[in-house]
Structure 1
Amino acid sequence: MTAFWVVAGIFIVVALLFVIPVLLRGKRNQSREQIERQAANITIYRDQLAELDRDLRDDTLSREQYDSSKQELQKRMLLDLSENGDPVATSFVSTGRYGVVAGVIVTLIIPLAAIYLYLVIGDTRGLLPQSQLANATQFAQNEAGGEEGHIDINSMVESLAARLKENPEDIEGWVMLGRSYAIMERFDDASATYAKLVQMVPDNPQFLSDYADMLAMINNGSLLGKPAEMITRALAIDPNFPKALALAGTLEFEQDKFDQAIIYWERLLGAIPADSKLYKSVSDSIEQAKSLAMRGKGESAPIQLTENSNVGTDVTEKSPSVEKQETSAGVPSISGSVTLDPSLADKISPSDTLFVFARASQGPKMPLAILRLNARDIPVSFKLDDNMAMTPAMKLSSFPEVVVGARISKTGQAIPASGDLEGHSAPVKIGDGDVSITIDHVVP
């Protein structure tokens, strides 16, 4: 900011150096012309007096005529000088009075008026460095409140969508629109946008993977069906594309094909930096898949002998329900209960669906885990864990704090719609087992 004012001051001084001398010089030039004109008049009067003296000596004029003519000439000279004033005094007055007034106006009033107008109607944030400007903008957005921020984002996204209707060949614009819809959790719109991109550029593995991801989001997190087709197409184009490998592993994991999931995720490890958070997350998923694969093969099912057994001992294997509980043991999770504000009780119908989900308190807004229940069961207990992750890179354990939300959907879709009922918890840490959520407002 200091540099700006220094540069602005230099420009003001330079501009005044061009303007003030011109004003002062104009006054001086005017005084000089007036002096020269009066000096010429005096010279003429002197010549006329000298001519009268010659005529008197030559007896051309009588004494009476000479005196009369001389008096007349002197009267005219005095009258002329009295009308024009003293040349020297006029020069000083003109130069002093008008020059000082003009200098004061130009030197002080105009620059001060310009600075005042800039401070009143200008944007002084433009004087801040880029880092401070970003912080100030972020602070202003936070002070403005979340609701107004959503309105601004919605208006910008709608403007972008309207512009793309006029210029449908703008691929970068479509990419930006799809990502914006995904961040806003408008997964139906995001899916339609990526479908457009896949149609425009059918051999791009990024667009195919993103399209599969959005299709899964509107399919309760399942990658079966059309999402699987998009993943297969993406890997056919680039067998080592990271997001396609991650989704392919998740698809196999969803179908309990743990060995295949391990193959995809191990290929993914070779395509990402070893010091990244994603690498650790995928490694944990691989260990989890290996553990489940061993259980599926019966390697972890211990043999228990009855106390009174003979040589032909009784063999008792653990029941599937017990095995499922052990599988979940040690998996990062979060649990609690969902209740409904009594003022909204009349807005629930038996066909409504309850979604309980967790997302990072800071970072991407995509759900890390999601659970589907019946709204008629409220109040209800829930538990979310890493086994419910959409992708290996986006699990509960990948973030230190999450926000747990509950939404009663009128449409049966996980995407929020106008008229849905919703509530959120404060940020909580992974492992918290007493999270309380009250559904207390209607989605506008």
Structure 2
Amino acid sequence: MIDFWLAAGLLLLVALGFLLIPLLRGRRAQREEDRTALNVALYQERVAELHAQQAEGVLSAAQMDTGRAEAARELLADTEGASAERVSRLGTPLPLLAAVLVPLVALGLYLHFGASDKVELTREFAQPPTSLAQMTDRLERAVKAQPDSAESLYFLARTYMSQDRPADAANMFERAVALAGRQPELLGQWAQALYFADNKAWTPQIQALADEALKTDPKEVTSLGLKGINAFESQHFQDAVDYWKRLLAVLPPNDPSRPALEGGIARAAEKVVQSGGQVQDATLIAAPGAHLKVRVTLSDDLKAKVQPGDTVFVFARAVSGPPAPLAVKRVTVADLPVEVELTDADAMMPQLKLSNLPEVQLVARVSRAGQPTSGEWIGRSQPLPSNVTARQALTIDSPDQ
């Protein structure tokens, strides 16, 4: 801000110059006028002395004329070079008053209509924050400076949630929705903030927000997780399994929340069995398109080389096309042998579904680092039609190269 205030001060000096320079020039003209008046008075005094001497008979008429001419020449010599008299219409007080008021009015107008706070925030955001408290302070000031910025409101709400301030977060999400529209992601996070702000009490408002978000986007992750939690807490365990399976289907393979979500699904399924029921597959998981069943096993030679906690990715990829996985399921070595199903609902990208490709290849990879694109051991199938219904067998038996 120092360079800004230096520039502003320089501009004010220029403005004051336009006001004060004419005033200084007027003072110099006044001094010249005063000197001219003094010379005229001396001339008049000299002429009066000549008349007195003539009346006393000391000077003749010729001498009187000579003396008067000499006094006139002296007057002309003294006043030569003086500028013409200037008449000021404004007077002296008005420029002085303007010189004082101009910087004060300019400063007041800038503080009222200017953007000094935004300039300062821009400078601060250029530097990384040193703490969460500092980031919160910056975001709060950004919201105050730009109350119509939905982005600032959204990030401040997320920061409040990370600080366990759900009530404040709910207020920010509500304002963001009013500005950005009823987007599914905003509605889901608003519902989540209200849920925790009300001590995990499920209210009609939360229900309406989650329903609206899922109606617009059936894969909205926050609403799926939230409705799964409410179903579990209200002992509707089959509903919890359904919501969490839908959520699991849209999460990336390496998402850190997948293990906890899979554990929640297992606990909910166990509750269903304990109550005498039978766990049903979520209807939206089993897509009507491709539906590949595969049984994955580990070769005897590798059983001593792997660890129970090693991650196993089972996926299908295009035979002719990009090598990226099209549909993925994640298990561990401890789960082997295991039977999994790959459907269009498991697609990594909606535009690349299994049913859109004539042939695919099934792959199972052991990755200790938890990366689906690289690992230690692998098993591959031969190319097969994407609409095959027979169960496929896949053995992990080769080093991953």
TM-score category of the 2 structures, normalised to the smaller one: 0.3 to 0.5
Structure showing the higher helix proportion among its residues: 1
**TM, length-normalised to structure 2:** 0.35
TM-score (normalizing by structure 1): 0.32
